[in-house]
Structure 1
Amino acid sequence: MTDHYDALETRPPAAREADLFARLPEVLRKAMAAPAYAERLRGIDPAGITSRAALARLPLLRKADLPALHKSAPPFGGLVPGLPGSFGRLFTSPGPIFEPEGTQADPWRGARALFAAGFRPGDIVLNTFSYHLTPGGFIFDASARALGCAVIPAGPGNTEAQFELIEAYRPVGYSGTPDFLKILLDAADSAGRDVSSIKRALVSGAAFPKSLQDEIKSRGIDAYQAFGTADLGLIAFETSSHDGMVVNEDLIMEIVRPGTGDPVAEGEVGEIVVTSLDPHHPWIRLAIGDLTAALPGLSPCGRSNMRIKGWMGRADQTTKIKGMFVRPEQVAEIGKRHPELGRLRLVVTREGETDVMTLKAEARNANRDLRQAIASTLRTIAKLSGVVDLVSPGSLPNDGKIISDERRL
């Protein structure tokens, strides 16, 4: 039995990079057939976007901005080149954000993640993600069927009915949140129902801490994590090495400094930005608001794509200080104006009834003039005064946190 879904997963990284950026210009041309992309990318020659450096010069599209865009130009904010009727299914997620499902095989690119988790053609899968309006249930349903699995469209809840389905069909696989898998197993134990056919699971949509991983494993289930969104489908997934998550094929992932579109150095925590090479529904530099960091080297499982640590928090750390919103991009702008600085972190505390902000800045040469210059820049950009604390290089944690709100409100 092969360990990989296809040869694309193990090709040399340079070959993958060359393939992605050879295809990108045509995807950009397709995207620019949609009015919003035509406006956003005005003046851009797609033929020139053939490297990561060139891609990084294109503007970010923030997921947080999609609800307003979709409302202004329903249903897709002018970001989709095709008409709604050209897609297979049409969904909505909170926001609201409206998502179309393509008609091609495996439109959400999830078959690879299931394969990596041990699912194989002919397996029966209990899918407990919701099938109501949001795409979660259909993402895993379509992915499992693309792999050749039969799917029980169970959705969440109603454990009694789930037990009947499990005892009748004997599914070997589970897809759903890790929390509901535990609920299902606990309820089966209490009710004396047999769910022992389930041997592997692909979980997503909620935290899967080590304690829960150990408990699920102790109950005879080999569980893997997948990371995705309703817009992009499956972005990255765990493999047999259980050493980070491998980025999916046909995606270009960048990790950028929060509040900017600037790629971080390898290993630095930053915001995930994804460009998808789906010509029917392209995403060009979609900043999804989640933090991660790239892992060095290749996965021991043999897959050669970029690896990430998984979800490490949210990039949008906007907070209100003395009635004014302060955003990560404003802190990033301070760094641009003072390139001699390393990491920056704006710490917000409260003294008495007053908000206090302290900008911690890594600097090799701490002196009064530099501190005063940074304080002036902070005041100019944030329209608020704050304390500047110059700290030694490398002393601020590499966790992607730009604004730390430590007030007890």
Structure 2
Amino acid sequence: MSEYFDHKEIRSQSERENDHLNKLQDLINSAKELSPFYSKSLSLVEADGIQNLSDLPKLPIVRKSELIELQNSEPPFGGLGMVPAGKMARLFLSPGPIVEPQGEDEDIWRVARALYAVGLREGGIAHNCFAYHFTPAGIMFDYAARTLGCAVFPGGVGQTEDQVNAINRFQSDAYMGTPDFLKIILEKAEVLNTPITSITRALVTGGPLFPDLRNYYEGRGIHVRQCYATADVGLIAYESEAMEGMIIDEDVIVEIVRPGTGDLVPDGEVGEVIVTCFNPNYPLIRFATGDLSAILEGQSPCGRTNRRIKGWMGRADQTTKVRGMFIHPEQVARVVELHEEIIKARLEVSDSDGKDTMALHCEVKSGLANEDLENQIADTIRIECRLRGNVIFEAVGTLPNDGKVINDSRDSVLG
């Protein structure tokens, strides 16, 4: 049996990029014809104008907040769908609210690849502790296991005593769910004096897998791997046995951009995760997840050749309120854009004697830090943010690499 889910995982990067480019060009043509939203947003973009993946920044970004507004104004899909609602397999409504349709009755979320990397194989029994109602997580993982030829117990959430009984009755060998719920089930089994010994592997997402929790599972002989997936686009990246970062899924394009912009950051620098998926019925092109991560340089020792990310590193939406005014990362990005002297910037928000203060800490090109530039940047802050802020020059390379454009150190943020 193959060590890999398919040949895609070990193809050359050039082969992968050519495949993605062809799919992207086809998707642009289809979306402009069938999607009311993309027929407008891509009206000035020709598919043959995207000659390689480095041309991606020519395409507009779709942010989750924008998607919610679009769906509210033009239900149910905000004009992004390429088939009517009645042609979809299932319709989901996540908190927001935000609509996520299942375009085809199959593993369109591609989670099977992550399950295969965990070691789940045909004939296995997967205990699925993701919810099956309203949100797509339960169905996402159900289809993934079924794609591999495994039986699935739809456990959902809660009812820990019943979860224990089901696992032991069916001798499930794999768990799918949030990182912490499996521990709750195992502890419940100990209380009931019916210990669980059949589960040997788990694929988790939807929360942090802390090192102590991973060690707890490993101590019980359960090999746990994480995947990074969203209800909007499905699988984005997953862990392999190498345990070095997360390998990007073969059927998405991932970019890391500076929060509040569409500008790519260098490999290794933390930024916002932008994903393009090729769902033929509900495509998302350059979808801003609102999550932070960074490209991990090099190739995984497991032999898979796709690029890797460092995993989930926080949220990119750093909107905060200062003196009654909302400040968004996009505003800070405009300040930087208007001053080519700035290499990198970070807005620090704090309080002094009960009063809000903010200062833009800037790394600028060598020899250009002076009082005139400081005053110019301060004027731009006042115009773009409609608030006054100080400007503090920092040595190049000293600002933290954490993806933060706005750092609010006050006890209460939005209030």
Matching of residues 151-190 of structure 1 within 5 Å: 151-190=152-191
Read off the aligned partner of 1:368 and give its amino acid letter: E
Q: 1:131: which partner in 2? A: 132
Structure 1, 185-194 or 219-228: larger mean CA deviation? 185-194
Q: Secondary structure at the match of 2:343?
A: coil
Residues 215-239 of structure 1: per-residue CA shift (max 9 Å, x gap): 1111110000010111111111000
Read off the aligned partner of 1:218 and give its amino acid letter: G
Read off the aligned partner of 1:407 and give its amino acid letter: R
> Separation in 1 of the partners of 2:65 and 2:193?
45
Structure 1 residue 104: Cα displacement: 5.0
Q: 1:372: which partner in 2? A: 375
Matching of residues 316-355 of structure 1 within 5 Å: 316-355=317-356
> Separation in 2 of the partners of 1:230 and 1:152?
21
Q: Check conservation: 2:164, 2:188, Cα contact below 8 A.
A: no
> Separation in 1 of the partners of 2:317 and 2:134?
26
% same residue? 48
Matching of residues 248-327 of structure 1 within 5 Å: 248-327=249-328
Residues 230-286 of structure 1: per-residue CA shift (max 9 Å, x gap): 111111100010100011111111111100011111111110111112222211110
Residues 91-142 of structure 1: per-residue CA shift (max 9 Å, x gap): 1101111111132531110110000011111110000000111101000001
| TM-score after normalising by structure 1 | 0.98
Q: Check conservation: 1:70, 1:76, Cα contact below 8 A.
A: yes
Q: 1:386: which partner in 2? A: 389
Q: Secondary structure at the match of 2:58?
A: coil
Structure 2 residue 11 is matched with structure 1 residue 11: yes
Q: Check conservation: 2:186, 2:195, Cα contact below 8 A.
A: no
Q: Check conservation: 2:348, 2:358, Cα contact below 8 A.
A: yes
Structure 1, 331-340 or 393-402: larger mean CA deviation? 331-340
> Separation in 2 of the partners of 1:104 and 1:168?
29
Structure 2 residue 383 is matched with structure 1 residue 396: no
Structure 1 residue 178: Cα displacement: 0.8
Q: 1:140: which partner in 2? A: 141
Structure 1 residue 44: Cα displacement: 1.5
Q: Check conservation: 1:64, 1:289, Cα contact below 8 A.
A: no
Q: Secondary structure at the match of 1:220?
A: coil
Structure 1 residue 385: Cα displacement: 0.8
Q: Check conservation: 2:129, 2:138, Cα contact below 8 A.
A: yes
Q: Check conservation: 1:124, 1:152, Cα contact below 8 A.
A: yes
Q: 1:21: which partner in 2? A: 21
Q: Secondary structure at the match of 1:122?
A: coil
Aligned Cα root-mean-square deviation (Å): 1.1
Q: Check conservation: 1:24, 1:50, Cα contact below 8 A.
A: no
Q: Check conservation: 1:22, 1:50, Cα contact below 8 A.
A: no
> Separation in 2 of the partners of 1:23 and 1:175?
31
Read off the aligned partner of 1:201 and give its amino acid letter: A
Structure 1, 273-282 or 287-296: larger mean CA deviation? 273-282
> Separation in 1 of the partners of 2:123 and 2:104?
22
Q: Check conservation: 2:346, 2:404, Cα contact below 8 A.
A: yes
> Separation in 1 of the partners of 2:341 and 2:186?
55
Q: Secondary structure at the match of 2:346?
A: strand
Q: 1:118: which partner in 2? A: 119
Q: 2:2: which partner in 1? A: 2
| TM-score after normalising by structure 2 | 0.96
Structure 2 residue 116 is matched with structure 1 residue 96: no
Structure 1 residue 163: Cα displacement: 1.6
Q: Check conservation: 2:345, 2:363, Cα contact below 8 A.
A: yes
Structure 1 residue 52: Cα displacement: 2.5
Read off the aligned partner of 2:245 and give its amino acid letter: G
Structure 2 residue 73 is matched with structure 1 residue 75: no
Q: Secondary structure at the match of 1:314?
A: coil
Q: Which segments of structure 1 move beyond 6 Å, counting only runs of 4 or more?
A: none
Structure 1 residue 287: Cα displacement: 0.4
Structure 1, 97-106 or 343-352: larger mean CA deviation? 97-106
Q: 2:57: which partner in 1? A: 56
Q: 2:244: which partner in 1? A: 243
Q: Secondary structure at the match of 2:321?
A: strand
